[in-house]
Amino acid sequence: MRRFVVLVVLVALPLAATVVVRAAADIPAWAYAIAPPPPPPVPGAPPVVNPAVADTSLKSIPGTTKQFTRAQIGGREGGPADWFPEDHPVMPDIVARGKAPDVRACSLCHYPNGKGRPENAGASGLPVSYTIQQLNDFRNGLRKSAEPRKANTNIMIQIAKGMTPEEIRQSAEYLGSIKWTPWIRVVETNTVPKVRSNGGIWVPIEGAGAGKEPIGVRVIEIPENAERTEIMRDPHSGFIAYVPVGSVKKGEALVKTGGNGKTIECGSCHGPDLLGLGPVPGIAGRSASYMARQLYDMQMGTRNGEWTQLMKPVVAKLTSEDLVNITAYVASRPVSGTTATK
């Protein structure tokens, strides 16, 4: 019995020690873009009308003669609008329309071409086995957000839980068959537009409150054109990632050398040009905010799948500033229509 107690203490000690270890980085709030809670309704005020429901006019975007209402764009009538069907292979039903009640159409958030937005993920051009692994990690509680208020990650988890293995395979093969092409423009700057969070994405403030502010130790990713992104969900209208002056160069040093043991050189697993290697995903030219969330989620242990273990020593010592520099550099790396491997 005594020996058993000693054993329990010995086993429990390192566990207790791990619990109190602090993450090296503070939560990069810029990468999560969580809006403050709305103020309580004023008594007697008229009910707030959702503009997306009230507006029934037909919308247009450059490059196509197709027109859709906001209800169609948002997928409230059948599958979400597909502005450019010639852009991508025929979508499997689960991608185009989803499956009631829990599986929303992937094309709504990730767009039919899988390019996605900073608040979700660029889901195309990834190795098929990697995507299957991620959907299973979401299903099995091994991939959550370190920010529990990140509502769309919780929806992503619900979606993965509602999918059959066959639907997971079909969507992974579909998304993996589409090339990853340039989508985010990295710009070094000292000042950024003042932004507000709109459902997990930053958009510049217009009218009262508009202006500029110092970037600080942040990446601020905004749509190239707020209307084409927010209202039209235009899959040809990409994003700008504003990053601090000098961050790309500092990030390059960490990524290429590992920074004297601070991290591990990324190319050894993600490929020399960071475009992916075997089942390891490409990271070049992808959203800096998305990647920073993932690195922080891994550091906090909320993203903790079987394959994530390889990333544990990579992220363990990264500070908030490292997250900015590394993701600025990686997002700025060129992509030239890279295809995924299986």
Give the separation between CA 301 and CA 152, rounded to whole angstroms. 19
Q: Which one, 195 or 314, has the nearer CB to ligand HEC?
A: 314
Give the separation between CA 172 and CA 167, rounded to whole angstroms. 8
Say how many C-beta atoms besides its own lie within 10 A of residue 45's C-beta. 7
Choices 65-73, 116-124, 180-188, 206-214 (CB under 6 A): range interacting with ligand HEC: 116-124
Does residue 213 come out as left (phi exceeding 0), alpha (psi in the -120 to 50 range) or beta?
A: beta
Q: Which one, 195 or 311, has the nearer CB to ligand HEC?
A: 311
52 interacts with ligand HEC by CB under 6 A: no
Tell which positions 200-239 bind ligand HEC, by CB under 6 A.
none
Q: How many residues bind ligand HEC (CB under 6 A)?
A: 49
24 interacts with ligand HEC by CB under 6 A: no
Amino acid at 181: T
As a whole number of Å, the CA-based R_g of the chain is 21
Give the separation between CA 199 and CA 35, rounded to whole angstroms. 7
Distance in Å, CB of 156 to ligand HEC, minimum: 4
335 interacts with ligand HEC by CB under 6 A: no
Distance in Å, CB of 81 to ligand HEC, minimum: 14
Distance in Å, CB of 314 to ligand HEC, minimum: 4
Binding mask 265-294 for ligand HEC (x = CB under 6 A): -x-xxx---------xx-x------xx-xx
Choices 14-22, 84-92, 146-154, 242-250 (CB under 6 A): range interacting with ligand HEC: 146-154
Q: Which structure tokens are listed for 12? A: 């429990």
Start-to-end Cα distance in the chain: 52
Give the separation between CA 116 and CA 93, rounded to whole angstroms. 18
Q: Which structure tokens are listed for 101? A: 């009640």
Give the separation between CA 224 and CA 240, rounded to whole angstroms. 6
Distance in Å, CB of 173 to ligand HEC, minimum: 10
Distance in Å, CB of 109 to ligand HEC, minimum: 3
Contact pick of 124, 229, 247, 263 for ligand HEC (by CB under 6 A):
263
Distance in Å, CB of 125 to ligand HEC, minimum: 10
Contacts 24+ apart (CB under 8 A), 154-158: 155/104, 156/109, 156/120, 158/102
264 interacts with ligand HEC by CB under 6 A: yes
106 interacts with ligand HEC by CB under 6 A: yes
109 interacts with ligand HEC by CB under 6 A: yes
73 interacts with ligand HEC by CB under 6 A: no
Burial class (CB in 10 A: 0-12, 13-18, 19+), 125: buried
Query: What torsion do the CA atoms of 91, 96, 98, 103 make, to the nearest 10 degrees?
Result: 90
In the complex, which residues of this chain contact ligand HEC (CB under 6 A)?
94, 103-104, 106, 108-110, 119-121, 123, 126, 131, 133-135, 145, 150, 152-153, 155-156, 159, 163, 171, 255, 263-264, 266, 268-270, 280-281, 283, 290-291, 293-295, 303, 305, 307-308, 310-311, 314, 326, 330
